[in-house]
Homo-oligomer: A and B are copies of this chain.
């Protein structure tokens, strides 16, 4: 592009780019994703849910850099899950707060232990359910609550292209078509629910790693000790082989799904009727939402 030595190779685009041109390319693509799916508009207050890992940290940095250009505000959200194994939550918290301060953002950190009196590990043990299930439930609920309290108009997560691709194949294999219908670039706000956006939807994981390296982003370079479930890893390895054989196919697959399959899934599997949780007002299909049922079962204070 400019004659300088290339710093990164993008196989799917058959491009070799220097640091500066890569950063420009990367940010332009995220901006295009935001515009293509109508994820942001001027005056939005985007809350980025940051775990401290590579993906959400990059989402935080790229949105902060784009905010000024596009005209939205960015703030940070983090949950301290209290996972003590391998010091996981401590390291994450440290990296996240460093980043929030470096970027000069309004932010909020919520400690599960301080706020509700339990950690994810304790809750999972008490209700005898897998860590990952309890953690997912807690994060969904608490991030939404934090976002509402902070006046966030849209909650952004770090899900990237490869996450989406794995999710698509995994749900086809499990014939979970109702789940697939929810795999949207943006989930609109509903009573009690903040809108959610996935700005890295069209960004390959490989590029996210390069972006973090070039910007010197200090993320928590450790995986959650409870790890992702094995089935998803098998799907991920399969898709890596497919992408290696046909560079660019992952992008084509995800865009094709969103453009040609998602609309018809949505028309069939519309959103179900929900009402407000009797305890907290959060949308639920029963009387109590899953989070309030969890609190009851472990006898936690609100």
Interface residues of chain A, those whose CB is within 8 Å of chain B, are: 168-169, 172-175, 177, 230-231, 234-235, 238-239, 241-242, 245-246, 249, 252-253, 255-257, 260-261, 264-265, 267-268
Secondary structure at the A interface, as helix, strand, loop or mixed, is: helix
- Nearest residue (CB) in B for A241 is B234
Please determine whether A175 and B257 come into contact, CB atoms closer than 8 angstroms: yes
Which residues of the other chain, B, contact A249 by a CB distance below 8 angstroms? 173-174
Which residues of the other chain, B, contact A252 by a CB distance below 8 angstroms? 174-175
Q: 7 tightest A-B contacts by CB?
A: A175-B256, A238-B238, A264-B268, A177-B260, A172-B172, A264-B264, A177-B261
Please determine whether A174 and B261 come into contact, CB atoms closer than 8 angstroms: no
Please determine whether A260 and B169 come into contact, CB atoms closer than 8 angstroms: no
Which residues of the other chain, B, contact A169 by a CB distance below 8 angstroms? 169, 172-173
- Nearest residue (CB) in B for A266 is B264
Please determine whether A175 and B245 come into contact, CB atoms closer than 8 angstroms: no
Task: Please judge, given known A-B contacts A172-B168, A172-B172, whether A245 and B230 are in contact too, CB under 8 Å.
Answer: yes
